[in-house]
Amino acid sequence: MKNKSLVSIDDLSTDEMVSILDLAEKFEKEPIQPILEGKVIATLFFEPSTRTRLSFESAISRLGGKIVGFTDASSSSVTKGETLNDTIRTVNSYCDLIVMRHPIEGSARLASEIADVPIVNAGDGANQHPTQTLLDLYSIRKTQGSLDNLNIFLVGDLKYGRTVHSLLMAMSRWNTIFNFISPEELRMPLEYKLYLDKLGLKYYEHSDFTDIINEADIIYMTRVQKERFSDPMEYEKVKNVYVLRNNMLRNTKEKMRVLHPLPRVNEIHIDVDMNTKSYYFQQALNGVYTRQAILTRLLNLK
């Protein structure tokens, strides 16, 4: 490899993950540092993702770096038919690191093989979004004090949810119990269950979580999208089962926290926002610290 890029969460060893989380902790204490002064970071968003882009740009700005790039492909030469290869080769010479978001799966891996500068994958289609996973880990560790021996509830669309798959892969490096709560049609794919079997980690599948919610250390909510259902009747039947409401949290563990990758639609009722156990907005802020740590680490600046 010509350089160290972050394309997939599996690229990182457990030690490297922990070390990024430790560094992120330092940025949380002192978020404004001139570490990226004189550096140019390209943010190439071949598809719009305002939340992710702002989080990266905030991280770069707080470290004193400059940003070049585009916010969606229609404002770049991609619409003129330029290949990814050519775009990356060109931008490569303008900057010190490339953050890219692209709708095609595997595009970030390809870019990392073309570029001389590090690539940070900010989402390649349904494939990987490793900085999201790291900020999830950061949020879990921060709220629970450790990543070991936790009972993680993954709720909602477990079939197509890239976020939950990556989180599962990452958390499976620690001694984790998983509870999968989803409608029948959106269950966790077999390959992930086989993977946990191989590691000897316990998991349970449920179609409803009201009876077991008090066992959770983390409830990770995701959106159940109507488009995912082949039968609209099925969606109507299940759409309210996967909505978290404040009264459901009454007897949950003191330290339990509710996470969500955002944007939320209706799967977490707004009455949960006032509860101290809701953590998703803090989670989004943690994304800035985590991304500061990732950028700094990939550029070997700390």
Total residues found in the chain within this entry: 302
As measured in angstroms, the least distance from the Cβ of 113 to other proteins is: 9
From 2, 50, 51, 202, the catalytic residue: 51
Q: Which is nearer to other proteins, 155 or 158 (CB)?
A: 158
Distance of CA 239 to the CA centre of its chain: 24
> Which CA distances in Å does 97 have to 17, 56, 100, 254, 263?
20, 12, 10, 41, 27
- Of 14, 7, 33, nearest to 289 (Cα)? 33
Q: How far is the CB of 126 from other proteins (least distance, A)?
A: 7
39 and 65 in contact (C-beta within 8 Å)? yes
CB of 168 to other proteins, least distance (A): 14
Q: Which is nearer to other proteins, 10 or 236 (CB)?
A: 10
Q: What is the CA radius of gyration of the chain?
A: 19
The verdict on whether 80 is a catalytic residue reads yes
CB of 92 to other proteins, least distance (A): 16
Question: Given 129, 142, 257, 260, which residue is catalytic?
Answer: 129
Nearer to other proteins, 105 or 273 (CB): 105
**Whose Cβ is closer to other proteins: residue 24's or residue 119's?**
119
Q: Could you confirm whether 101 is annotated as catalytic?
A: yes
Q: Buried b vs exposed e over 111-135: b needs ≥16 C-beta within 10 Å?
A: bbeebebbbbbbbbbebbbbbbbbb
Q: Are 17 and 131 within 8 A, CB to CB?
A: no
Minimum distance, C-beta of residue 109 to other proteins, in the bound complex (Å)? 5
C-alpha angle with apex 105: 73 to 87, nearest 5 degrees?
A: 40
Question: Which residues form the interface with other proteins (CB under 8 A)?
Answer: 8, 83-85, 103-107, 109-110, 124-128, 191
43 is catalytic: no
Residue 154 · residue 180 · CB < 8 Å: yes
Our answer to whether residue 165 is catalytic in this structure is no
Identified catalytic residue from 80, 83, 198, 276: 80
Closest CA to 163 of 140, 196, 134: 134
Cβ closer to other proteins: 55 or 107?
Answer: 107
DSSP state of 294: H
Catalytic residue (one of 53, 62, 71, 101): 101
Q: Which residues are catalytic?
A: 51-52, 80, 101, 129
